[in-house]
Structure 1
Amino acid sequence: MSQKDALLTKAEKKKLVFLICIILTFTVMNGTMFNVAIPDIAADFSLDPSEVTWVMTSYILVFAVGALIYGKLADMYAIRSLLTIGIILFAGGAALGFFSQSYPQLLAARMIQAAGGATIPALAFIIPARFMPESRGRVFGTVSATVAFASGLGPITGGLIGGTFDWRYLFILSILSVTAIPFLRSWLPHEERRPGKLDIIGALLTAGAVTGLLFFITMLSLTGLAVSIGLAVLFVLHIRNHPAPFIDPGMLKDKYYTTAVLTSFLGTSVMFGMIFIVPIIARQLYGLDTMEIGLLLFPGAMAAAIVGQRGGRFVETYGSEPVLKTAFILAISGSFLLSIFIGVPPLLLSLCILVQYAAFPLIQSSTANLLTELIPSEKTGIGIGMFNLMNFLSGAVSSAIFGAFLDLESTSLQLNPLTLQENVFLQSNLFLAISLTALGALLLFSFIFRNRQREQKEARAAAAEEKTL
């Protein structure tokens, strides 16, 4: 990629960011829209609950692994080529799903969609780091705000389309994404093929380990856990001797990188956990229908969109670390407020959700910006790919753990003495646990990163002294 090609004008950046956010909206909504369609799909194909969950599980499996692999490929191949292939697969899978007449055909469509759709969030965080380094914090904020907003818009859109027409029409929005290809190919800078080879064995071992882990998380499969552990051990042995491993061991040994990814995983688990359990609780405690549940979440999604836009500027002005700490404080506060006020009228509950929702784009944008500071530019793809993989895993982990918690139905144990209602101790305790998870992430991040700025100053001083000698 020449220097001229790498430079984008302000107008070109705005057009490109806008287009990426539109496509990203389709991708995120594609995941959340189908949550509300699961009962209709089960009825159409006469499926048991355990069978119909594969509509979501198959998508998660392929999407999570794909996010990591595309990140690695982005270190070698042109982003616009990867996005072109991804969007074609995404729209093609949607077309197959729209015309599906059998359950196996629907599953195949969802997996093809996931194989293509994984390119979009994976590369949406790499594009600012590569082509807009001077304004990447702001763009990360916009991208993260889009993810948060689309996750809240998905259930409302799914309820409207599925309720008015048929669940198959949910695929229409995904099909429309193919219209973005000419613009992406025109607006994205040209890149030359970079040196490097894909460690296929390492990629397969990683994919197998992640798949086994997801089987364990989503289906409590001990076989999946055993497979995941076994393949993870083989992967560690493999990368020790490979000249160009799929994941650089040195990157994983960097305490700052691993801590940033881990705290992002915990923070995103808190956010996805809230988004997952609020609809269930809203149906159980308040008897809200799908549209009303969507409206309960919508103010938070709007707040996240607004905060995300501002958050990118905060990252550029104050740095990633202070913004990330602020985000965790918001997540702690929102969860704790929900623990106190769960059971009160939905309007007040919506305000508590808003506080926690606002943390989501700040966690995403500040962590993405921090990772670009911690990893070399030639490893941005795989570095961000790990970030995306862990974020996606966080959704599966939080859904499984918090869902199992809600299966208890009720408890007489009151962990939060401030809880206002007496019949909601189980839900209150769950939100308290979420708040403590966010607190743990904040304490871990603060402890590990406490000396980073001093180390950076010492390194700069040593480099300057070496130059004078």
Structure 2
Amino acid sequence: MSAIAEQATEEYTLSKSEKKKIIFLMCSVLLFSVMNGTMFMIAVPDIAGSFSLLPSQVSWVVTGYIILYAIGALMYGKLADIYPLKLLLTIGLSLFAAGSVFGFFAPTFLMVVIARLIQAMGASSILALAFIVPSRYFWDERGRVLGIVSSTMAFASGVGPVIGGFVAGALNWQFLFLISALVMITIPFFQIWIPKEEKKEGKVDILGAVFIAVAVADLILFITMFDWWYIVISIVFFGLFAWRISKTDIPFIRPDLFKNAPYRTTIIAGFFAIMTMMGLMFIMPLLLSEVNELNTLLIGLTLFPGAMVAAFMGRWAGLLTDRRGSNQVVFIAFALMITGFLLISTFTGGPAWLISTVLIITFIAFPFIQTSTANLISTVLPRNEIGVGMGIYNLVNFMSGAFGGAIIGKILDYDNDIKLNPFSIAQDNEIVYSNVFVGFVVLTILNGCFFYMSFRRK
């Protein structure tokens, strides 16, 4: 029996109760995975104070984690096309829990960084496989389940900073590791509830995996540190990777995957959409701190309503994707993004409650764009390539977030007294923030036109 046939058989033999258990398990561990990133971003100043570190030194707590998390999302995606999900999840959760326990007892900053790297090696499996599970076990209701996954990510992104700030303030930043260690409780349930699968034909091109891993790592380092040696090394290894996949019989990524025009269009459109959404997440704490003079806890509470509404709307995004198709939901997401960015640009400098209110519109766009693009990828790829296809999708999302943060950081370094939005109430140093959101509006409109024209031709 073929791999595709086996998948279909497994899919239809699952009862409604079994499917609910799988969704509950995946969302539970995904919650910890996403929160683990946002909690530690809040705690970076406290970690620096504990070890008397410079900002460039303590940044490795975040940078090192992002690098391995991004690479791991690609690697686990590829492995999912060959190995059973139960095995990959067990390995990933074990690493995540081990890194969390190790981090709690870490006596030095070096040990803390190592703990974060181990965490990333495990947590990346959760993100990668959370987007593959709907295509593996819920083929006829992928959109609905992807909507639930996106809702969970939105909820975790919103609640993470609040929990991180509370725990780090009331106890100590090391206790954040213990929160993530709770994922070990779920491992026995994955052994029981995830369907048994056989290893499929194929093997991983180790050399190709090494080439792409080094290329991605150096590209992220270049984005975060702006050392030109990193981009040179990255280009060299991307070249070696391209040479490798064109020469070997079993490439890590098949070259014809990028010849799939709908997949390529979705990846490109998703890159720019997620870049603006992650740019929003990067710029809002800075704006609320500098313009509205809020502390960390109040910033988290200001962002919280939008994240909660987005979590609620994720379910509707999934249902709408199943009923109306991915393309229409992509355009709904673009419309929400344009409206939200324009309103934030207009009211930059206004009271925090007003910013929190208009942010809700933009936050709602996140589950819509994520659900629709992930579902679109699952429909335009052969089922035996969905794993690596989703791995590339997750990797590109990480890269887009890093690009967005780096570009915005550079823009904010320069003062600007020319308002691009004539209706904006921003004044003085607030204007540059308002103008950034105008840039987001323009980029989203161009992205929407690209997506429309590409699929119209196809």
TM interval, shorter chain, is over 0.9
Is 1:75 the counterpart of 2:60? The answer is: no
Q: Give 3-state SS (helix, strand or coil) of 2:251's partner.
A: coil
Name the residue aligned to 2:376. 370
Letter matched to residue 130 of structure 2: A
Superposed displacement of residue 422, structure 1 = 2.2
Deviations 1:253-311 (A, max 9, x none): 11211110111111111111111110111010111111110111111101111111111
1:19-30 pair list within 5 angstroms: 19-30=25-36
Matched residues, number: 451
**C-alpha distance in 1, partners of 2:398/2:158?**
16
> Which whole-Å CA distance do the structure 1 matches of 2:215 and 2:345 have between them?
35
CA distance in structure 1 between the aligned counterparts of 2:306 and 2:55, rounded to whole angstroms: 30
* Matched letter for residue 116 of structure 2: R
- Matching residue within 174, 198, 208 for 2:214: 208
Q: Does 1:437 align with 2:424?
A: no
1:87 corresponds to 2:93: yes
Where do residues 99-138 of structure 1 align in structure 2 (5 Å cutoff)? 99-138=105-144
Aligned residues of 2:7 and 2:136 also touching (Cα < 8 A):
no
Q: Letter of the aligned partner of 1:103 in structure 2?
A: F
Deviation for aligned residue 1:421 = 2.6
Q: For residues 131-165 of structure 1, what are the alpha-carbon distances to aligned partners after superposition, in whole Å with 9 as ceiling and x for unaligned? A: 11011110000001111111111110100100000
Measured in 1, the distance between the counterparts of 2:239 and 2:453 equals 29
Normalising by the residue count of structure 2, what TM-score does the alignment of the two structures yield? 0.97
Q: Which of 16, 37, 40 is residue 43 of structure 2 equivalent to?
A: 37
User: Quick one: percent identity of the two aligned structures?
Assistant: 44
1:459 corresponding residue in structure 2? none
Q: Which amino acid in 1 is paired with 2:412?
A: L
Is residue 278 from structure 1 mapped to residue 284 from structure 2 by the alignment?
yes
Q: Match for 2:418: what amino acid?
A: L
Equivalent residue number for residue 247 of structure 2: 241
Q: Higher mean Cα deviation, 422-431 or 157-166?
A: 422-431
Q: SS where residue 36 of structure 1 aligns?
A: helix
Q: What is the root-mean-square deviation in Å for CA atoms of aligned residues?
A: 1.1
Distance 1:182 1:437 in 2: 46
From 281, 296, 312, the equivalent of 2:318 is 312
How far 1:168 moved relative to its partner?
Answer: 0.2
Where has structure 1 moved over 6 Å in runs of 4 or more? none
Letter in 2 for 1:174: S
Give the residue type in structure 2 aligned to 1:391.
Answer: N
Question: What letter matches 2:292 in structure 1?
Answer: Y
Partner of 1:455: none
Report the TM-score when normalising by structure 1.
0.95
Q: Displacement, 1:122?
A: 0.1
Which of 398, 401, 419 is residue 414 of structure 1 equivalent to?
Answer: 419
Q: CA deviation at 1:451?
A: 3.5
Residue by residue over 1:330-370, the C-alpha shift from the partner in whole angstroms, topping out at 9 and shown as x without a partner, is: 11111111111111111111111111110001111111110
Q: CA deviation at 1:2?
A: 7.4
Question: For each residue in 1:47-100, what CA deviation from the matched residue of structure 2 results, as whole angstroms up to 9, or x when unmatched?
Answer: 001000000000001010010000000000000100000000001000011011
User: Unpaired runs of 5+ in structure 1?
Assistant: 453-469
Q: Does 1:386 align with 2:397?
A: no
**How far has the Cα of 1:3 moved from its partner?**
6.1
Counterpart position of 1:298: 304
Post-superposition CA distance 1:94-142 (Å, at most 9, x none):
0011011101100100000000000001000101101110111100000
CA distance in 2, matches of 1:28, 1:249: 31
Tell me whether 1:164 sits opposite 2:160 in the alignment.
Answer: no
The letter of the residue matching 2:305 is: P
Partner of 1:465: none
